[in-house]
Every structure is written in structure tokens, then in C-alpha cells.
Structure 1
């Protein structure tokens, strides 16, 4: 009897153990709903299955996204909704991931959750839309950013060269500002985020200017009667004036001057386009880039990008021009000294002068030469125009000589002896043919010809090969005779 009773009790205990194990397995490992104490973001999902938890979290997220975020700096503020600023998470995917993590959670932790002794939080990472963030930063920057002003040089009629002190600037510190934003979703109230501004110091200060001297300078001349062209080059010269370049950094003409547009004040003037002279926006700009090119050469700077014009120009010798086209061709040079350099650029009374100042330890004795390897003659064409009066002759396009040329930079010692010569470029300038429109011949003077080509009696120039002069045979640009380089004042 006792044995039978013992077996019955043992059996009951075994059944209870099996039942308990089954219940525990179902509750803790084969559950169909979240355990007590589990929260996704700030949402308690106790007793909810994955679908229900997703719906509840979506509802919470929609409300949380309506919280306003206000960025502030003194009397400036910028407000935006949190959901506009943030990347919307995939709630269903996140709930599914939490469900799987719950399956893997340890038994002890689950028992504590069921007993109410532990809260398990699964945060949702808060990330921000890059494009929206960039737009906010740009808008805040327009209101709060202030460019620093480098110390500068001013020519005073009484006191001579004066140093004007620099002024610090400020800029929105994007990383520091957004570090004040939450990193995960929570039950937010209205968010107020201080805008962090960082101070920007001038590249060149008064003390640096005191030890600066002129490393190189160059002047070109322009016709003030060409009003629009003069206006354009004056605008560009002003944009470059007071530019400072830190040691090892690169100057870019296009980046410094900016896009040439009507909105920015530029006008139409003669440019070179596809090898022809024609009106175009920003004509005259290339005289500024060419003047800086020569000043940079004489200052000993390292030229990193330069392009010659398609046609020869009159304001600089052959192979000493530098054409620019915004977004396509640039002029660049590198500050190869150990100190900042400072550019002064001024236009007026028909003269454009660029001075480059730097530490006088880097002052060098430099000269520039060029050699013409080939002179390429232009051709002359006359075209019959029956709509012109008899005997009328119109020069539709002036002819211009073409060239092949090279430029060299010479470095000399204190005694004037050349110690190093470097070739700067080999350039080709195409010729421009002369085109004449002629009306019908006057009666009794010449046989009438049908419309089209009309024979003319001209002596066409021929290509002239110039001797290939070596370094000792250069002609210095300062000694070139007037008129040797036929050209007109254009871009």
C-alpha cells in the first residue's frame, strides 16, 4: 500500500514537473506574445504579438514625430518637425528583430521580466535625413555665418602702404550642433537645440603682413573706352583683391571669382569662342587671370593649371596668357612657401595690377622669356554679295596671324646669373582668316561674276619657320617690338 502511494505521489510530481516544463517552454521560448517588461522605444508591448506590437509602435511613432525641434542662437531660431528631419524607421522590421532577440534572451532574464523585476528596453536609433540636414545647415549659415576678413594692405596717398587689421568670422559647427540632438527615439517633449558657432580666424593677420614684402607683380593695360569689358575685369579684380592663401594651399581663379553671370553684375563683351571673336558673357575676365598668371610666375609660385587662348591676345606676350571658363578651364597655382601669401589686385585708369606679397625669405630673382617657333600666316577671302551696292567692300572679319611658341622662367642669383631655367609651356595660337564682302563690280570696271567666290589679287602670307632657339637665344619679352604680336584687345 505504501509502495503504491509512493508511486502515485511520484507520478503526480512528475506530471507537475512535465507540465511546468511545458508551461515554461511555452512562456519563455515558444511564446506567441511579448513578455512583461519588454519595451520597444518607449512603447510597452506586454502581451502583444508581433503584428499588434507593430501597429502600436507605428501609432506611437506618428505622434512622437510631431514634436517640434527648435535650433536657437541668441535672437535667431529655426524650427522644424522631428519627423521631417529624421529618417523614418521600418517599424515592422524592427519589431521582427526584437521578437527574434527575445527568443534568444536567457531564462533568468525572462523570469525576472515575468516577475516584474526587470525592464528590457529595445531602443530605436534616431538618424537624420542628410539632404534635409544640409538644407538646414545652409539656411542657418546664411543667417549666422560671417566670413573672416584678412588683414589687408591699402595704398594711402599721404601715408603710403597701410595695414588694415583683420576681423574674425564665425561658422555654424554642424557636428557640435547636432551632437545636442537625441540619438534614439523616446517620449519627447518639444526639443530646443543650441546652435554651436565656431570662431574662424583670418588667414593673414597684421603681424604677418608686417614681415611681408612683394614677391612678384605684373601690370597689363586695357582700353577704358570698351566700357563693358572694363567693367567685367574690374569686377573680377575686386573679387580677387585681399585673397590670402595659406602655405601649401592652392589658389583657384574660378573658385575665387565665382560664376560669371548677369545676376552677379557681369556683362557681354568680346570673347574668343571656337576660334572666333564674338560677344559673350564676362568678356575681359581672361585679362585678369593672365595678369595673375604672370604675377604668380614672377613670385615663384608653382603653377598647377593653366590653358592658353585659341588666338593670340595683345595684353600679354605669347605663351604668357591664361584663359578661364567657369566649370571647364581654370587657372590655379600653389603657395609653395612656408608662409601665407597675400594678393592685391586693382584696376583703374586703364591699368590692371596684381601684386603678390609673402615672406621675404622667399623673394627670388625671376625673369620670363618666350620664343616664337613658327609664325602662321592667315588667308584672305572675298565673297560676292549681290545685295551690296556696286563697288562696296566690307571687311567682315580682320585677319590675325597664328603662332607656335614656348615660354620659360629663369631663376637668377644675386649677381644676375641664371642658375635654373624651366620651360613653362608649348602653345599653339591659330590664325584667323580675313573675310571681305564685296558688292558687284562698277559698270565698265570689271567683268561681273556670279554670286560666290570672287577672284582677288592678294599676296597670301606663308608659314615662316623660326629657328629653334635654345636657352641662350631667347628674346626677352620686355624687348619685343611694338606690333610684333598682332592681336586685338579681347578676353
Structure 2
């Protein structure tokens, strides 16, 4: 009986001890305060009420968000940029501490006990940045307004045909990788810092223009390599205008290595931008009034310049009639849709074409790279003279033996042209570049009608080809 009584006593003692332990654990785990000695971002929060501690944390984080951020410019004339850390997309993360506080209130007793017992004494706050937030305020438009745009270098041809360069101008742009590093270094690492502004000096890089002196020099437009002129003589006002219109469209044209000069494109652009006026054109071998007369003087002058620097002529045809401003065999005609003039830039460098009319002279110049000891000459010779054909027109009102010359004819020519290459003044190559035919013009004579036939004379219509004009 004694033994049973002692057992009961020990059982009740055990129950009481467990109850006291259970109660003690509840008292320990259910505290609404943080453990002693806890610091968050350098701020002491030990033994603080959990809700009050979280409220204090939020206040400190909000204060950090509103802390001034001053971005200074090393240009003394430029104003500093004043923002807040929040404006720059900078926030501080204390999620680890918040999760720890949340675990202190877990519904599981053992979790609460274990969390409180192992609760860290030091908690950090970590800054994070949304880079796009700052870039939205200091983006491309802001940079262009504050620091301007790069200015391209310019190539100039002086009145004395010297090639000069005007340097471009680079501008400053924010160096974002360096700015990000500087910001990360300058940001407060805890909550204890005062409200003094965070200062960061803006780092810059130079934005170069698309076109620099070096890039222009690399094109190889070093000097004037050829010049050729033809006279406008007594050309009419309309013809002079047309030559000017085509020449000004050629002026300033740059051909890259391998590019094709296409005179048809030049004429199309000139007609679109400046137009052409009435002047004599060649229609099926006869001079008539038309629109654009004179444009072939430009193509012919360019042709001569191209020949004299050894360029590859892709397409070219002579006029049906000789021209007054060039020797036979050295002209280049044009007819919209049927006859074109084209050559290729085979110099390996860029070519700059200049063309202008001054004192009734059309002058074409090429600027580029060309050996100074190499030159080209042209030689044209007539290999055949074509007789003047005669056409008789019968007139019933004429007396027998009477006749009248309505149009004097002209002889035609077959002409061969050679290009002669010289190196150091000595001929090293002689190449025939063309064999041209200038058709003879009919001599038209009116004579008495001595035929007995009443049938009218007929002829097939001839296709209308307009040279040296557009219509």
C-alpha cells in the first residue's frame, strides 16, 4: 500500500513538473516583445514590442526612401541633379527580419520557442535598385537636351581645290556601368545614417559622331585627280539652265568603291527637283525644239573626266550627230529609256564628283586617290567619211529643170578613239575604247514631178528617239 501511495505521489509530481514546463514554454514563446539585444540595420530593437518594432522599421525605411540623392556634374557650369533615393528606384529590403518576427508568432509552440531561442541578434537591411527608374529620368532625351548631340566632321573643298577637314564634336553621355558602381558604393548600408544627402559624381563617356575626320580620311578622297571642261558657247538660256540643272545634281555625288555612276538616275532626280526647260534636242538625227536640251553636255564632260583616270565605262554611246563642244568620238549621249551613260568606280577608294557652270564653261572635277605618276590621254581619228545621201521631193508646180534645195546635207563619220596610258610620261598602253558612227544627214531637194503615177508615196513611221533631252 505504501508503494502504491509513493507511485501516485511521483506521478503527480511529474504531471506538475510538465505543467510548469509547459506553462513556462508558453510564457517564453508568447512574449510580444523581441528578444533582448536585437539590432536591425544598426538600430537597437531588443525587448521592443514586435508591432512597434515593425512600425519603427517602416518609418526608417520610408525615411531612407525620401533621403536626398544629389548627382554632381564635374562641369562647374552644369547644375546638380537633385532626386531622392526613391526617385532613383532605390529600396531597402528587410524581409529576413520580417519573416523572423512572423515566425515568433507561429501557431506551433515549438516553432515559436525554437525561433525565439535562436533569434539572430544582428539583422541587416539590403539596398536594391531598379536601374530603369533612374534611366527613365536621365534617359536619351534628357542627355540630348543637357549635353547636346554629336556634330559630324565635314570635308570641304576649297576654291583652290584643296581638301580640308573640319573636325566633328563629341558629347558627354552617362557611363551607366560606372554610375551603378558609384551608387552602390555610396548608398547607406544601415538605418543609423543621418539625413544628409547622398552625393554621387556622375561618370561620363564620350559619344563620338558617326562621321569623324579619321573616317573621312579613310574614304581616300585625298586630292583632285582630274578636271575637264567644255564650253557652252552661244547656248540659249534654256540650254544653259538645263546644263546647270544636271550639273548641280552631279555636284557632290560620292561613289563608293565598286559603285556605278548612272546618268539616268541623275536626270530623273534633276527633273524631279529642278526641272528642265525648252532647248534644241536631237530627234532621229535632226535638231528640233524639245525639253531638256543640253543635258548630254554634262554626261559627255563627265565621260571625259572618267576616261582620264582610267575608270571602267560600262555603257556609253555617241550622239547621232557630232557636237560642237568636243572632238568626234569623245561624247556620250543620253535618251530616256533607251540610251544611258554609266561607269564604275574601280579606284578602290571613294570618288567625289564636283560639277559647276561658270563663265559659260562647264567644269567637272573628280577627287579621290590616283597615282601621281599615271596619266591618260585620248586620241580620236576619223577612219571613214560617209557620203551625203540625197532625197528628192517631187513638186508638181515646178517647171521642168527647176529644183530647190530644202536642206543642205552633212557628211557622216566613222571615228575610232583610243585611250593612252602613260606612267612617268612614257606610254605603256594604247587601247581602242570606241568605234563611233555619226550618220550623214540627207540633202533634201525639191524637183519637178515628172511621174505619171497618181499613187502617193508612203513610208513606214520611224521610232522617235530623242537625244540630248527628255522629250
Scaled by the length of structure 1, the TM-score of the pair is 0.47
Larger radius of gyration: 2
